[in-house]
Amino acid sequence: MKKKKIKTNWLYSQTAKEHFLNPKNVLWDEKNYQADGKGTAGNPICGDQMALWIKVDPKNQKIKDCKWRTYGCASAIAATSMLSVMVTEKGGMSVKKALNLKPQQIIKRLGGLPNLKFHCSVLGQAALKEAINDYLKKISSKE
C-alpha cells in the first residue's frame, strides 16, 4: 500500500502515529514461531485484546525477541509496538527489568498519549508480565 503524509493535526504524537501505521515486531506467522513465553491481556468486549510472545536468551536472561498481535485502537497498537521495541533494543532488556517496566515509560517513549488512553499501555505491560511469568514457570519446571 502506498503511503502519503497529510499535513494535519493527528490524534496522537508523531511517534505513536508511526508505530500505529508501521508497527514493529508484529507476529504475522504464529505457527512457525517458537516462543519461550506467551501472555495475553485485555478483552474484546472492552475493545482491546493483545497477545505477546517472547524469546529469552538463557545465558543472560535477556529478552532477545518480542512479538505481538493486538486487536484495539491506534494507541493500543502503538503502545504494544513501542513496548516490543523497548524490551528488545540494545541487546535486550533483562527479564527482571522488564517485569518492572512501567506503563509511564512506554507512554513517555511514545511522546505521550491522551489521558483516556492510559489503559492501552497498561495492557501491553500486563501481557508482557504474563509472558515473562509463563517463561519463568517453564524454566523452573524444567529444573
Contact positions toward another protein, by CB under 8 A?
A: 1, 3-4, 6, 11, 20-21, 23, 26, 28, 40, 42, 44-51, 68-77, 116-117, 119
Catalytic residue chosen out of the listed positions 10, 14, 21, 46: 46
Between residues 38 and 62, which has the closer beta carbon with respect to another protein? 38
Return d(Cα 112, Cα 14) in angstroms, integer: 10
Query: CB-based contacts of 52: which residues, under 8 Å, 6+ apart?
Result: 38, 39, 40, 41, 66, 67, 68, 80, 83, 84, 124, 127, 128, 130, 131
- CB 133, min distance to another protein, A: 18
120 is catalytic: yes
Residue placing its CB nearer to another protein in the complex, 26 or 136: 26
Decide whether 10 or 96 has the Cβ nearer to another protein: 10
111-124 b/e (C-beta count within 10 Å ≥ 16 → b)? eebeeebebbbbbb
Q: How far is the CB of 28 from another protein (least distance, A)?
A: 6
Residues labelled as active-site residues: 46, 120
